[in-house]
Amino acid sequence: MQHDVCFKIGTALRPSSICGKAQNRSHATLCCLAPLFLNILCAPISAQTVTRQPSLNVTGIGGITIGAAVNEALAANPTVRSAAQLVAQAQARLGQAQAQRRLQISLNSALSGSNADVIQGPPSSESFGTLQNTITIPLNVGNRSRLAALQADAQVAAALAQYEAARLSLTNQVESAYYDVLRKDDILTAAEDTQAEAQRQLDDVQKRNRAGDVPDLDVLRAQVPLASANAALYQARNDLAVARETLDDLLGEPLDADLRLAGDIDTTSSPTERTLDESRLLAVQNSPDVRASDAAVRAAEASLAAVKLSREPAYSLQASDARSSDLTSFSRIDTIQASVTIPLSDGGLATSQIQEAEAALKQAQSEAEIARHSAQMLVSNAYLTAESNRQQAVASKIALDIAQTTYDKTALGYQNGLYPLSDVLNAQVALGATRSAYTQALYDSALAARMLENLLGAKK
């Protein structure tokens, strides 16, 4: 047992696996202390039990991977489908704007019948019919249609970026829920182990009490950790059920679906291989919110330019053919004409539209600046959190190993009459606390690294 424990600890704390990834003073200090902790941990012991530590693969191979869970949610979630429909609408508006720049022909046909008095001879009255067909071709000479197409194209880009942002947000939610299920499952396993150990300890004390080796007070003291362990076990079961329901809801599954997770979590790679400045730059480049705000600025610029052309003349070409049975007029007349429409006065409408477009452009520019600052702040927080959580996971692992060794030695000393029961119970409580802290730190580290990858667009 001694060699097994030391081997596991030595493997987890190899200088090549820790110091090789040290990127700041606190981490380097931790690496330097690792050999000291190893010397402490590898002291001769005769441990009775070794508590199971989080495996990050608690539900077995063959279940739903985290990638499959994300894909299932993206296919079933209504928020993503709604964002996709917004993209389709924007693309349809772009098609409409582009159609305005192509050749358009309209036909107007009018048929009429009339009765008229004739002033000049020979007839004094007559009835006649008239048919007139007119073809109108607008001439796309100005820039308004071009600007409208540019505005619609920018709106498509904004809709696509918003769609990507919706997918990223849902991805983060699913991954967080996936990790939470695994975390709660490990916490439940830890609670079961703690409860079993507390029960074993109570049974041992009761046995020794019946033999007259320990007083009745020790039996009462041993009952306290068991009661606490039972309460923690009930809480852990409830927390796991809630976590599973949350994941089921995100995946579009029934809330009571007992999904099998593969637990494919990678904690070996460092989340901070890039510098903080490099991460900020990459996050801004890949941020869908930044792309959406930049597209909104382009759309606002095109809208303002189009509004300023409100008095731009409109040109068209018309060809008409009129045929009539009126004896006093032409029986047929063909006409070709070019028309120009020049707006002269709009009562101040264009001025107000320009003011509105200018305000919209300034708002879009401000929102673009906010989006950049937000992207930099988010990635900075994620970067620092990922690095801190990674170091906490390493430190928590060392603390857990020390707590395990302390408990084993104290329990052995109690069996040999060297330590009182209170020392064993205190060591048992400390072991449970450090194990919970390590489980939390391990999953926090893995999740923080994945959230950082999402912000950087590293999985594209």
Alpha carbons 420 and 213: distance in angstroms, whole number: 12
pLDDT for residue 12 = 35
Distance between alpha carbon 436 and the CA centroid of its chain, in Å? 27
Q: 111 has which bridge partners?
A: 131
Amino acid in the structure at residue 15: P
Q: Is the peptide bond before 54 cis (omega within 30 degrees of 0)?
A: no
Task: Give the HSE-up count for residue 301: Cα atoms under 13 Å, Cβ half-sphere.
Answer: 10
CATH architecture of 56-100+162-308+375-456: Up-down Bundle (1.20)
pLDDT for residue 314 = 81
Cβ neighbours of residue 218 under 8 Å, at least 6 residues apart? 205, 208, 209, 421
Amino acid in the structure at residue 93: R
Phi/psi at 420 (5° precision) = -75, 165
**DSSP per residue, 347-394:** TTHHHHHHHHHHHHHHHHHHHHHHHHHHHHHHHHHHHHHHHHHHHHHH
As a CATH number, domain 106-139+313-341 is 2.20.200.10
**Rounded to whole angstroms, what are the CA distances from 370 to 29, 364, 366, 375, 455?**
38, 10, 6, 9, 16
Q: One digit per residue, pLDDT tens: the chain, 460 residues?
A: 333 333 333 333 333 333 333 333 333 333 333 333 333 333 332 333 333 344 333 444 457 888 888 888 888 888 888 888 888 888 888 888 887 777 778 888 888 887 877 766 666 677 878 888 888 888 777 787 888 888 889 989 999 999 998 999 999 999 999 999 998 998 999 899 889 988 988 898 898 888 888 888 888 988 998 999 999 999 999 999 999 999 999 888 888 887 888 776 665 555 557 888 888 898 898 889 999 999 999 999 988 888 888 778 888 888 888 888 877 777 888 888 888 888 877 778 888 888 988 999 999 999 999 999 999 999 999 999 888 888 898 999 999 999 999 999 998 888 888 888 888 888 888 888 898 889 888 888 888 888 888 888 855 4
pLDDT for residue 294 = 92
Task: Give the HSE-up count for residue 311: Cα atoms under 13 Å, Cβ half-sphere.
Answer: 10
pLDDT for residue 269 = 54
CB 154 within 8 A of CB 296: yes
pLDDT for residue 268 = 54
**Cβ-based burial of 322 (10 A; exposed 0-12, middle 13-18, buried ≥19):** middle
* DSSP category for residue 21: G
Best CA proximity match to 398, nearest among 42, 25, 48: 42
CB 437 within 8 A of CB 399: yes
